[in-house]
Amino acid sequence: MDVLKKLFEQHFHLPVEQVDSLQGQLGGSGRKIVRLNSQTFSAIGILYDVREENVAFLEFSRHFRRHGLPVPEIYAEDLSSGAYVEEDLGQTTLFEFLAHNRADHILAPEAVDAYRKVVAMLPRFQVEAGRDLNYKFCYPRASFDRQSIAWDLNYFKYYFLRLAGIAFNEQALENDFSRLTKFLLSADRDYFLYRDFQSRNVMLRDGHPFFLDYQGGRRGALQYDIASLLYDAKADLSPELRHQLLDHYLDILSGYIELDRQRFMRYYYAYVYVRIMQAFGAYGFRGFYERKAHFLQSVPYALKNLRWLLHNVELPVPLSTLMDAFHGMLASEQLQGLALAPGQFTVRIFSFSFHKGQPKDESGHGGGFVFDARSLPNPGREERFKALTGRDAAVVEYLNVQESVGQYLDHALSLVDASVSNYQSRGFKNLMVSFGCTGGQHRSVYLAEQLAKHLRGTSGVEIKLEHREQENWPR
């Protein structure tokens, strides 16, 4: 962490006064990401020990900025330490914006407009910036070639199909993989392939999109990236909106190349399938193998996309064994149980200090309740309580006898109870409840503890409690 502070101070000529971890926003990344703040400036610091990947990101970032593309400015770097500091693009991803601007499956016009801006920008990466990109910096491959495709397909086979218990004939499946690969490689592939073009890798600032996480980019086909965005599982876009956005993308793309739409569409859904398989492989590796259960929450959404494809798309290449495996996934009681199993509804409860910002929502469900406890009597103003927290008996006793605290807690419990019951009946999986106060030490901790105590034992509810400002609190 010291190296990031040093880089920040070298660039801004001011000391770092606050460091906030952004690890909850990483998904499957192995990077350490923090927000560095002085009184005047903020920046994002990255620590990662894969030099080749760091070099790819830094080189691509500078190249894209030369083309006027909205990517973060690189402020400072120390490749020998695996460290660099970049522009802070804010806290709102396209995925988070989507979650806040939808009602069930209906997206608000603002969310649709944001997606249209994002897809309109994609051809500039693929064609305009891709023309003179130095592909020697690509890692681990310079192109989405036979080897890259084999890695993705085997990732799907061994980490998803095997671990999910889906039966298949391995040689017959390999034969299908060979046919699919040959078909994919017959598409035009002389463009920049972003590789992970999805809603969590797009930031929105003042209504404009900014782009991240293109370090896995390489030369490849146009179809892959638009498929990645439109079939991003938990974004759960409707088929109608996917078609509209694809048409918009193709309209923009036709301004950069002489576009044969029929030829583009001949390959498009094959790339949709290969991207979906790559995603299933990631869910299986992180969820089944590494036992990080929250990655499996995306599986029901990906199965929904798969079901639509099987019912509506016929590929121009025979893949009977692969299609049988897909149907086996849809019929799997284990996989269906990821969406239906009782005991999977999680209430995540936080205490925090408003001075350090609200906790981030990791579930994609939109953040839930945020209760402001600063209007309540503050034990922190009394010397006898300053070294204690809202978990200590003396503070609990003090707050228990305050009438305003009792009324506040009753209202909060009533609101949360109603949401828990409603969300369970609708098949939701997560609710986030955060209590904030001035220091995140007394009132917010007390209220979070009381809610957790109230909900424990509720049928089908799992409680996860975190006192964010109390790093060493006993668990």
Per-residue pLDDT tens over the stretch 58-79: 999 999 999 999 999 999 999 9
pLDDT of res. 27: 45
> Cα(9)–Cα(152) distance, rounded to whole angstroms?
41
> Cα(271)–Cα(223) distance, rounded to whole angstroms?
6
Helix axis angle for 299-312 and 261-283, nearest 10°, is: 150
345-353 and 430-437 beta bridge pairing: parallel
106-107 and 102-103 beta bridge pairing: antiparallel
Does domain 2-87 bear CATH number 3.30.200.20? Answer: yes
Would you call 1 helix, strand, or coil by DSSP?
coil
pLDDT band (50, 70, 90) for residue 86 = very high
Q: Looking at the predicted structure, is the pLDDT value of residue 308 above 50?
A: yes
pLDDT one-digit tens code per residue, 397-420: 899 889 899 999 999 998 998 888
Q: Looking at the predicted structure, is the pLDDT value of residue 474 above 60?
A: no
Q: Looking at the predicted structure, is the pLDDT value of residue 29 above 70?
A: no
202-205 and 208-211 beta bridge pairing: antiparallel
Per the DSSP assignment, residues forming a β-bridge with 433 are 349, 369
Q: Looking at the predicted structure, is the pLDDT value of residue 159 above 50?
A: yes
pLDDT band (50, 70, 90) for residue 236 = very high
Comparing 44-48, 145-149, 194-198, 469-473, which segment has the lowest mean pLDDT?
A: 469-473
Mean pLDDT throughout 26-32? 63
pLDDT band (50, 70, 90) for residue 425 = low
pLDDT of res. 293: 67
Mean pLDDT throughout 295-303? 87
pLDDT band (50, 70, 90) for residue 102 = confident
Number of other residues whose CB lies within 10 A of the CB of residue 295: 19
Q: Looking at the predicted structure, is the pLDDT value of residue 424 above 80?
A: no
Helix or strand (DSSP H, E) at 78: strand 74-78
pLDDT of res. 364: 61
pLDDT of res. 261: 97
461-467 and 345-353 beta bridge pairing: parallel
Q: Looking at the predicted structure, is the pLDDT value of residue 394 above 70?
A: yes
- Prior bond of 140 cis (ω within 30°): yes
Alpha helices in 165-255 (DSSP H): 170-184, 223-230, 239-253
Comparing 17-21, 172-176, 230-234, 378-382, which segment has the lowest mean pLDDT?
A: 17-21
> Cα(168)–Cα(173) distance, rounded to whole angstroms?
7
Q: Looking at the predicted structure, is the pLDDT value of residue 344 above 90?
A: no
> Cα(67)–Cα(397) distance, rounded to whole angstroms?
62
390 contacts 396 by C-beta, under 8 angstroms? yes
pLDDT band (50, 70, 90) for residue 340 = very low
Mean pLDDT throughout 4-16? 96
Domain segments of the chain as ranges: 2-87, 94-340, 345-467
pLDDT of res. 115: 98
> Cα(461)–Cα(475) distance, rounded to whole angstroms?
19
pLDDT above 70: percentage of residues in the chain: 93
Q: What is the mean pLDDT of the chain?
A: 91
122 contacts 197 by C-beta, under 8 angstroms? yes
234 contacts 95 by C-beta, under 8 angstroms? yes
Residue that wins the pLDDT comparison between 181 and 334: 181
Nearest of 240, 253, 233 to residue 119 by alpha carbon: 253
Q: Looking at the predicted structure, is the pLDDT value of residue 396 above 70?
A: yes
Q: Right CATH number for 94-340 from 3.90.1200.10, 3.40.1190.20, 3.30.1490.20, 3.20.20.80?
A: 3.90.1200.10
Own/partner contacts of 130-134, CB < 8 Å, gap of 24 or more, are 130/191, 130/192, 130/219, 133/60, 133/63, 133/192, 134/59, 134/63
